[in-house]
Structure 1
Amino acid sequence: MAEARNPLLAGIAGRCPNCGEGRLFEGFLTVAPRCEACGFDLARADSGDGPAVFVILIAGFLVAFAALFTEVALSPPVWVHLVLWLPGTLVLVLALLRPMKGAMLAAQFMNKASEARHD
């Protein structure tokens, strides 16, 4: 069982933060119950709404800035904005969501958040 050099980079890559080898996700965003390589219990981790919030903030800033810059520089018709920024937002959100969730789960692993007591 090899120790991951950086759990955060492993999480961003969709790998187990414990060993860096096994897959972190079963589906697009479904966390695997156990690491296939080291057997680490991944089911204890719960990222909640954190990844979605960060993705909304990041994608919202990038798309709003790009749309505003395009409007000021080129003044295109409204339909051009719709054609550019609606699909662009969707692609950006889908591209960021999985790595952000992996990073949040890895951060929980690094800080041993699943060992917190609830009493």
Structure 2
Amino acid sequence: MPSTAAPLDSSERPTGQAMLRGALGRCPRCGEGKLFRSFLKVADHCPACNEALHHQRADDGPAYLTILLVSHLGAPLLLACYVAWRPSAMTMIWTFGLGAVILSLLLLPRIKGAFVGLQWARRMHGFGAEPRPLASS
């Protein structure tokens, strides 16, 4: 059965698909190779298609977005639990502290992968840039 997917070297790079592949921990180009070589360390090249991934500059963006999401999910829940059941301070610290750490560890690699996928799809930071000829004097 012939494939209906666009060729990998086409000029169009679907942003949503690349971000989803990155969020799943896969290469944004082929979707086959692993994006990370350790928990948050992006591989230099895709083992499946040999796409260079070292250009990525996710930096602090995924961490900021993770903190934003975890705090905006946790704060209303914390308030609702306090108003409904009035648990002790230590119970609140342990349960919500542990919940925030676990949720952060689950979200951070997925958000970072999506950032790398976005950068690849939008040809940011050297992804897909053709070498420019040197200007002659």
Which of 94, 99, 107 is the aligned partner of 2:110? 99
Amino acid paired to 1:25: F
Alignment of structure 1 residues 1-119 onto 2, 5 Å: 3=8, 6-115=17-126
The unaligned stretches of length 5 or more in structure 2 are 1-6, 130-137
Deviation of residue 65 (structure 1)? 1.3
* 1:82 positional shift: 1.3
What is the CA deviation profile of residues 19-73 of structure 1, one whole-angstrom value per residue up to 9, with x for unaligned ones?
1100000000000010000000001111010000000000011111111110111
Number of positions where the alignment pairs a residue of Structure 1 with one of Structure 2: 116
User: Structure 2: how far apart are the matches of 1:30 and 1:77?
Assistant: 39
What letter is aligned with 1:10?
Answer: R
CA shift, 1:114, in A, is: 2.1
- 2:55/2:126 contact within 8 Å kept: no
Segments of structure 1 that go 5 or more residues without pairing to the other structure are none
Identity %: 35
1:76 positional shift: 1.1
Instruction: Kindly report the root-mean-square deviation, in angstroms, between the aligned alpha carbons of the 2 structures.
Output: 1.8
* Alpha-carbon separation, structure 2, partners of 1:77 and 1:10: 42
1:37 maps to amino acid: A
TM-score (norm 2): 0.79
